A and B are shown apart, each in its own frame.
Chain A
Amino acid sequence: MLHQLNPFQWIVVPILTLLFLHSLALMARGVRWGRDGIRALLWLAAAVAVLRPDVTIIIARAVGIGRGTDLVLYLFILGFLGTSFYFYGRVVKLETAITTLVRQAALQDKAQSKS
């Protein structure tokens, strides 16, 4: 099977495998096993999708989408929108926190300079 790999697969699959193993190792440490576990799964799924594109076709057909690439595209769009909103929310919270800090510092400086 190895001799059938195209150059893209030769480059990408080892990288994805390493990332998968790295996430597994982190997961084994058990500090943030939930997060690392999800990452390991995603790396594995990506590696499988690159190595065996026919697998995505099987899943796509199973959920009523014609092509495997469409399935990947849809998942990407959903993932992108989800992370965008998530990070927008995070940024807003951070900005608010920074403003609160800056305000407290300004008010405290003023109070100190008066006394």
Chain B
Amino acid sequence: MTPLPDPKIFIVIAAYNEAKAIRTVVDALLVSYPHVVVVDDASTDATSEGLKDAPVYLLRHCLNRGQGAALQTGIEFALSSGADLIVTFDADGQHDLTDIPAMLAPILAGECDVTLGSRFLGRTEGMPVIRRFVLKGGVLFTRIFSRIKVTDIHNGFRAFSARAAAHIHMQMDRMAHASEILDQIRQSGLRYREVPVTIRYTSYSINKGQSSWNAVKIAFELLLRRRLD
């Protein structure tokens, strides 16, 4: 990829019942990134209403389809709007937007097609012990079954070149999409790199996030799907 003089960067956020946090996250992003896409995944709270006057691309799912599905919708919208680079970012304020340039740099330099944020290469603030344990288990699982070497899987902070994003087709609606993305990256031969990022755990984001029990369900779903394909 030849370096782009003025790349069109789209930030894609999947939001489900994030009325409390989304506006702050979006406002902070808009200062540096004019193209913010929010996919409201049929929230039952005022997520969309809170963004009515914000200069964002707001898309609404009429039924809740899960984070993977919402991100895919946002990515497709960004691609159809002429995005050169797409960053997926969490709605709950866990991610640090000052990490975005570092996420984009390797792609802009043509060194890889996808960057994956890693909290284990970077920093975490206030991470519960059980969460660390479960996530590490997920890493092991993925290394065994997807044969892809990463240190952090369930991190929604990712960046894609437009070409790479066009290769991503998340079929799994719920959280299993994290492992699915890795499978697709490997299968389509995209070059990826992990970038250290900071994840800030707050009581809000911990409550909003996945219960650790979900990890078991995700593993089951992935294995079953693998058998059926």
Question: In the complex, are the beta carbons of B61 and A106 less than 8 A apart?
Answer: yes
Question: In the complex, are the beta carbons of B171 and A96 less than 8 A apart?
Answer: yes
Question: In the complex, are the beta carbons of B228 and A110 less than 8 A apart?
Answer: no
B residues 48-92 touching A (CB-CB < 8 Å): 57-63, 65, 69, 72-73, 76-77, 80
Minimum distance in angstroms from A76 CB to a CB of chain B? 21
Beyond known contacts A107-B59, A107-B80: 18 more, CB 8 A cutoff: A85-B228, A92-B225, A92-B228, A99-B65, A99-B72, A102-B62, A102-B63, A102-B65, A102-B69, A103-B61, A103-B65, A103-B72, A103-B73, A103-B76, A106-B39, A106-B61, A106-B62, A106-B73
CB contact under 8 A between A107 and B76, given known A102-B62, A102-B63:
yes
Cβ contacts under 8 Å, A95 to chain B: 173
A residues 75-115 touching B (CB-CB < 8 Å): 85, 88-89, 92, 95-96, 98-99, 102-103, 105-107, 109-110
Question: In the complex, are the beta carbons of B69 and A99 less than 8 A apart?
Answer: yes
Q: How far is the CA of A1 from the CA of B225 in the complex (A)?
A: 52
Cβ contacts under 8 Å, B225 to chain A: 92
Cβ contacts under 8 Å, A105 to chain B: 61-62
Tell me which of A88, A99, A107 contacts B77 (CB under 8 A): A107
Q: How far is the CA of A53 from the CA of B160 in the complex (A)?
A: 65
Question: In the complex, are the beta carbons of A88 and B173 less than 8 A apart?
Answer: no
Minimum distance in angstroms from A87 CB to a CB of chain B? 12
Of all chain A residues, the one with the shortest Cβ separation from B57 is A110
Main secondary structure of the interface of B (DSSP, over half): mixed
Cβ contacts under 8 Å, A106 to chain B: 39, 59-62, 73
Q: How far is the CA of A29 from the CA of B101 in the complex (A)?
A: 68
For residue B31, CB closer than 8 A to chain A, the reply is no
For residue B129, CB closer than 8 A to chain A, the reply is no
Cβ contacts under 8 Å, A102 to chain B: 61-63, 65, 69, 73
A residues 41-71 touching B (CB-CB < 8 Å): none
For residue B144, CB closer than 8 A to chain A, the reply is no
For residue B224, CB closer than 8 A to chain A, the reply is yes
Question: In the complex, are the beta carbons of A110 and B77 less than 8 A apart?
Answer: yes
Cβ contacts under 8 Å, A88 to chain B: 224, 228
CB contact under 8 A between A99 and B59, given known A88-B224, A92-B225, A107-B73:
no
Q: How far is the CA of A81 from the CA of B77 in the complex (A)?
A: 40
